[in-house]
């Protein structure tokens, strides 16, 4: 039977894991079997740079934390080697990094995940992993907002380059006059 101090440590770990599950917006559970130290170090560095917290956890402790956090549907995958990656700020970061890593490493496997307090299926995790980074999405939105403004600025610059509004109007009128002269006159309707 474990000592009282060991039980208290385990209770503290479960409480910490439970709070982490509740406060994060997304999480991914993986099997890290067969990963070497060098690859693990690279993976942890990339996750840290993207504000993803990654820890190896005991299945029994994570199972109890899942009960407390309302994520009981994660429990069936809690076997073998298990690590948990959570993010408090970006929905796709953990899935993107870990799915890419799993594709390159045969034994590393994504088991399950959750999003906003609900367990999600593997198709959703794969879809999340294909989303671009937050910075790329923001750049795309900004580009979409700037496109009309940039087109307007180019049009105004074109007017300035032509010599101003009056010069542009004279040019358009000069181009329209020969076209009007060349157009055939409408035929009068035939008299009956």
- C-alpha distance from residue 156 to each of 104, 144, 153, 168 (Å): 51, 20, 5, 11
| CATH superfamily label, 4-131 | Ribosomal protein L10, N-terminal RNA-binding domain (3.30.70.1730)
pLDDT at 114: 92
Residue recorded with tokens 């690590």: 83
* Predicted structure pTM score: 0.68
Mean of the per-residue pLDDT values of the chain: 84
pLDDT at 139: 80
pLDDT at 185: 53
pLDDT at 181: 61
Domain boundaries, the chain: 4-131, 136-182
pLDDT at 186: 55
- Is residue 161 classed as helix, strand or coil in its secondary structure? helix
Task: Look at 146-150, 171-175, 177-181 and tell me which has the smallest mean pLDDT.
Answer: 177-181
């Amino acid at each position: 039977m474990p000592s009282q101090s060991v039980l208290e440590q385990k209770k503290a770990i479960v409480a910490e894991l439970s709070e982490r599950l509740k406060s994060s917006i997304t999480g991914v559970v993986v099997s890290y079997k067969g990963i070497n130290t060098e690859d693990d170090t690279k993976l942890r560095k990339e996750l840290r740079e993207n504000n993803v917290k990654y820890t190896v956890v005991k299945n029994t402790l994570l199972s109890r934390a899942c009960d407390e956090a309302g994520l009981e549907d994660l429990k069936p995958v809690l076997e073998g080697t298990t690590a948990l990656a959570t993010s408090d700020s970006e929905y796709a970061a953990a899935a993107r990094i870990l799915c890419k890593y799993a594709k390159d490493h045969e034994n590393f496997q994504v088991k399950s995940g959750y999003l906003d307090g609900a367990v999600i299926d593997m198709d959703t995790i794969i879809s999340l992993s294909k989303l671009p980074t937050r910075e790329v999405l923001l750049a795309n939105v900004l580009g979409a907002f700037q496109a009309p403004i940039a087109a307007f600025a180019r049009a105004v610059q074109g007017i300035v380059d032509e010599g101003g509004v009056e010069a542009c109007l004279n040019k358009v009128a000069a181009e329209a006059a020969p076209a009007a002269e060349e157009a055939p006159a409408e035929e009068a309707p035939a008299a009956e």
